[in-house]
Structure 1
Amino acid sequence: MPKFIIERDIPGAGQMTQADLQAVSQRSCAVLRELGPRAQWIESYVTDDKLYCVYIADDAEAIKEHAAQGGFPANRISEIRAIIDPATA
């Protein structure tokens, strides 16, 4: 399955409490269970005003459906074409 990065514009995301982040995570997981194997959440990075989420999914449509059902923005969905790190140097 392809891997994607989802950029979610969420003003004040960096100020969310652990309880807030846990609630968002639980909602995301509940929606993913309903979607079945079409999408899998790997991890997310929280910045001041955005979340960057890494997913494995059948296609971008599965991610859009997850966002719509969960009430999360998915402002930009980009398929990851390659991964580089210091080991690739």
Structure 2
Amino acid sequence: MPKYVIERKVPGVGHSTQEEMEKMAQVSNDALRKLGGEVQWLESFVTDDSIFCIYVAPNEEAVKKHAQMAGFPADRILKVETVMDPAFSEPSIPASMASKDKKYDKSIRQ
């Protein structure tokens, strides 16, 4: 299922109280339950004036529907094309060469 980054512009949100953040999460979770698992909220990053949310949903319309039901803005909805991390630059190795803890001896690749 596709993953989305949603930017919600909310002036001053970074200075919200714990209780205000809990209320926002509760409203979001209530809307998610009403959608019956169609949309999943993975996590959010709160900055001074925006919330960047990571969602899994079948399509952009489902993300918009959640925002509307919860009463949240969805100023930008961006479909994630690729997930990248520091290990992205490492060459792939066959699973049979990786150890149980998913690390491997670099000498194997030489």
TM norm. shorter chain > 0.5: yes
Aligned to 1:21: 21
How many residues are paired up?
89
Cα displacement string for residues 12-53 of structure 1 (whole angstroms, at most 9, x for unaligned residues): 011001110000000000000000121000000000000000
Between the two structures, name the one with larger relative contact order (CA 8 Å, sep ≥ 6): 1
Aligned to 2:9: 9
SS at match of 1:37: coil
Aligned to 2:36: 36
Structure 2 unmatched ranges of 5 or more: 90-110
Alpha-carbon distance in structure 2 between the residues aligned to 1:67 and 1:88? 32
Cα displacement string for residues 61-82 of structure 1 (whole angstroms, at most 9, x for unaligned residues): 0110111111000000000000
Q: Which has the larger radius of gyration?
A: 2
Matched, 1:47 2:35: no
Alpha-carbon distance in structure 2 between the residues aligned to 1:64 and 1:72? 9
Matched, 1:67 2:67: yes
SS at match of 1:45: strand
Structure 1 unmatched ranges of 5 or more: none
Structure with the largest fraction of helix: 1
Q: Alignment RMSD, CA only?
A: 0.5
| TM-score, structure 1 normalization | 0.98
Q: Percent identity?
A: 47
SS at match of 1:48: coil
| TM-score, structure 2 normalization | 0.80
